[in-house]
Amino acid sequence: MPDSPASILILDDDADVAYAARLLLRRRHGDVTVLHDPAQLPALLARGVPDVVLLDFNFTPGRADGAEGLAVLDVLRRQANPPAVIALTAYADVPLAVAALQRGAADFITKPWDNARLVAAVDAALARRRPQATNGAGAASALMGESAAMQAVRAMIAGVAPTEANVMILGENGVGKELVARAIHAASRRADGTFLAVDMGALPESTFESELFGHRKGSFTDAKADRAGRFQAARGGSLFLDEIGNMPLAAQAKLLTVLERREVTPIGADRPESVDVRIVSATNLDEPRLFDPAVFRADLLFRLNTIVIRVPPLRERREDIAPLLRHYLALYEAQYARPARALAAAALAPLLAHPWPGNVRALRHACERAVILGAQAEYQFDDFGLFAGGPAPVAVSATTAVAAPFTTAALAREDATLAALEKDAVAAALAQAQGNISHAARVLGVSRAALYRKLEKHGI
């Protein structure tokens, strides 16, 4: 969470895209403005320059060259105290994103985005913009917990960040591996460069080389222009290879060649290009599987794991659970304008004993659910949507996903109205979907546009 409120501007002509980003970011930052036309920008800048701008690059129907967005980027960079600009681009527009980075953008996000990735990019942009965060303290502070295990993680980050060593981060889903990677980058000599995260498991094998190493115009049927890959886009900064354990073996061999030679050859090029990036990788594979040659190449592993940082699961640092609960309950009380409430004494023991299979991410979502749906003077264990001693139930239908969380609390209220029930249903679906708009819409059986209207209607 940022140290002080931040102002964020979303400049995108697609109302649904802009609203989705605003909905996500206002929960964390509060002050989020949306504009759909660059012509509206001068009036806004006259009132004050935002801290972060999420900038689309095409506003006129039929245009795809990004010239309009680049012109806006130039205007923003000429401000006396320029904002951090995050480019919003389609997945296929990496060359445009590279151009934006070269002209001063802080980062780029491809649409449709991953919510956690967008939030992390905004937080990192704020940390780089604020002078007190340039030593990496801002990023590292997000790794909450005073247990011996988390103190050891922070000590490892402080020791390895100033070096150029490749780092591999190991840990279960939800422990904060990307936060560790961002903290390493923020405390490194490359902090002013780009931090670029790539989900390696999501890259199609057929386009793996093009996405990572780039291609030349005409090198294959759809290669209508030269395209830089992720290695080129992150030049001078850090490249975070997330979920690297999900890569096919054939793709692993190609990556190994690049790491050995420190150069890439774009598809269709006749000569290689040197690359200057620091590699930080992460996987949720346990170490026996990681060292299985049928799963992961040993020679690539030894290239990546010069330094290994193991992020412990929450069940191995239970002394951090109570402080994390207090932190996230207070956070969501502020975001949803709910009154501060204490945690019932009878609720703490089962929360401390819970195995938290989703780790800090699951705890955070459980706290958000409790703040939204808890109806008593104190938070009860049932408010968190957990089974005592076990993981949270998995929604299998709209009925179980929506009705189960809210009927007990909402229907018991004598003054419950259809509007109140609808609001609770929408809030419950969002909590169940962990903030994913598309998932929540499917749970409710409505379109994304209809869900956006309901969110605006109920002020969620």
Report residue 367's pLDDT band, with 50, 70 and 90 as the boundaries. very high
Whole-number average pLDDT of the chain: 81
Structure confidence by residue, pLDDT tens digits, 220-248: 777 777 777 888 888 899 999 999 998 88
Tokens 């001063």 belong to residue: 104
Residue 287 binned pLDDT confidence (cut-offs 50, 70, 90): confident
Provide the pLDDT for residue 135: 38
pLDDT for res 5: 65
CATH 3.40.50.2300, domain 6-114, yes or no: yes
Q: Considering only CA atoms, which of 343, 314, 310 is closest in space to residue 174?
A: 314
Cα–Cα–Cα angle for 334, 337, 339, nearest 5°? 85
Q: List where CATH 3.40.50.300 sits in the chain.
A: 130-312
Task: List the single range of 71-80, 199-208, 305-314 with lowest mean pLDDT.
Answer: 199-208
Q: What is the pLDDT of residues 14-70, one digit of tens each?
A: 888 888 888 888 877 778 999 999 999 999 998 888 999 999 988 888 777 888 989
Output the pLDDT for position 319. Answer: 92
CA distance 290 to 134: 34
For the chain, where do the domains classified as CATH 3.40.50.2300 start and end? 6-114
Look at residues 194, 198, 175, 174 and name the one whose alpha carbon lies nearest to residue 186: 194
- The DSSP-derived string for 88-150 is EEETT-HHHHHHHHHTT-SEEEEESPPHHHHHHHHHHHHHHHSGGGTTSHHHHHTS---SHHH
Question: In angstroms, rounded to a whole number, what is the distance separating the alpha carbons of residues 136 and 124?
Answer: 10
Distance between CA atoms of residues 258 and 275, nearest Å:
9
Question: Percent of the chain having pLDDT more than 90?
Answer: 36
For 224-320, where are the alpha helices, taking DSSP H only? 230-233, 249-261, 287-290, 298-304
Work out the average pLDDT over 97-106: 78
**pLDDT tens string 110-120:** 777 877 778 87
The per-residue pLDDT for range 59-79, each reduced to its tens digit, is: 888 777 888 989 999 899 888
Q: In this predicted structure, what is the pLDDT of residue 442?
A: 66
CATH fold group of domain 316-458 = Helicase, Ruva Protein; domain 3 (1.10.8)
Ranges of CATH 1.10.8.60 domains, the chain: 316-458
Instruction: List Cα–Cα distances, 360 to 11, 164, 177, 312, in angstroms.
Output: 32, 29, 11, 11
Third-level CATH fold of 130-312 = Rossmann fold (3.40.50)
Q: How confident is the model at residue 286 (pLDDT cuts 50, 70, 90)?
A: confident
Cα separation of the two ends of the chain: 20
Query: Which tens digits make up the pLDDT trace of 167-197?
Result: 999 999 889 999 999 999 989 999 888 888 8
How does DSSP classify residue 273? E
CA distance 261 to 460: 51
- Most distant CA atoms of the chain, gap in Å: 74
Q: Read off the pLDDT band of 382 (50, 70, 90).
A: very high
- Cβ-based neighbour number of residue 162 at 10 Å: 12
For residues 59 and 129, the model is more confident at 59
Q: How confident is the model at residue 376 (pLDDT cuts 50, 70, 90)?
A: very high
